[in-house]
Chains A and B, each alone.
Chain A
């Protein structure tokens, strides 16, 4: 590789890494416990015992559950209702306004069959939720999300430039070379290269799927302005409904429209998920993949009559199908442990990169380029002196 090319890629690697490293360290540290969120929730005893439904029992009426959730939080409006995928539990989220952000929502859990209220710690309180907020938006809402998305993009650039620089550095070295007896810098340079190249693909996938996740809100807005607007063109310009029709009937209509799927959650009008006039009943299938994404069914919120359903456009499918590749929650506990180990290796790559940069701040760029091109075999300072 030409010296000029190495210089350009070195510049890209240095700046893309430097700008994002501290944020990436934060994401790794907060992401580690989030990998095991389910297990931590389970072990902490926060998970209430849920009795199995009595034989022949029928699910409780959804409108009744909504009414009791609103009794508990007077003045609230209902926002979402959803079914726990693993337990016979229905949750109802309410808030002061239809566009209440998750952090300010109230949540009531019900037994899906008996309809009894299940007392459980709110989903949006506690250490894990705080970690989640830091990890996803640093308490800064959508701007925070988009900022972290930009940082993730820089990380992808840092990986790409790192892989490019790996070639000149390794020209005379075998794979896996770690020279621990020369100098501390050389040892960490070798480790940075080794750990970096081995984890490059995984970190790249997690970074880019993370970037996609930060775009969830804009993607939903795009969907509502496109496919949803076309399906609900007849309601365009109408004032929001002031009285809502039965949700139970609406969910039945959705089930009848898509009989091979089951509802996962329902959004109320105005929540940003289904426009201003419709319930959005989000259906899921049973296969490993269709459990990860949804098919929205729109039901008129003033009549509970089926309006339309359509498969999501590719960008919405991509958003949801890519999520497991970010969370690592699709292969049992062993995969989570692998996810955690790879996160720790990533922390070492980030920290060693920072260490290498701090240790060479006052050296010339030429000296660093010689170091890269010679695989660290030529002492950088000597070369700089000679040049």
Chain B
């Protein structure tokens, strides 16, 4: 997970970097072509002029790339506007001076040894000339810096906007799934359907069932803030839940429980036990024509609360995966993957002979 993240990051950076080199080369080649053309048009074709333009263009190419890499390495773009501006300005001043020094260092020996020709065979380096040379280079470099920074800022804005939208969409999906896991629609609508039949058949039991169903729904809806509940509270709701399921499955659902009274005050994420029971019924009872027996155990040990639910294994592998309910439970415990554990506890689902055993450990 992390490895692949790093890899895509670095490939993306490499791609962006090679894009920059192409663009920068193109840009300064164009600049060189333009200044050569203008120089020849206004001052005539002098080999010394050509040397100056080429040297300055090479200097600008190297200098701009250096500013970029320095700015990236020291994260200038993360700074505020003022911090970024004065750093950029300083870089422009220094780099422009360096480019002019470099040009002079190439031009003066070349002139002295007559490798290149200039009008009068001399270069003018009076202070005002030197300042003019430096200023024109600095202006070009400043424009380059402004363009580069602007482009970068735009990209960053777009990326962060996309990341924000993606995170938002992900959170909405998770919330939706969590609600689905807590308010299992299949369970609710089956219960209502059974209830309608029961109203004709046995009105007293029907009234009881309304109570059980309400309590189950309330528990699922009220505890959405993630606050933990006591096992006693959770167990009361699971009993309501089982009462509703008993009306659906009738004698196909047989439950054996062993809840240690000492464990009742232990705390666990809301719905944790219910999701285990729900899962056990879905995959261990509903798929067997004759139903089966469900075992629910809870006790305390040195580590904390231990809850175990087991059910007959499904006959065929056809029943769908242990989907959103258990994923939600893992998320509640902060467990990343199946079989892993976290600060809060661990959760394990394993086959033992003909039974499927779900083991939940919650640190207290």
Do A and B come together as binding partners?
Answer: no
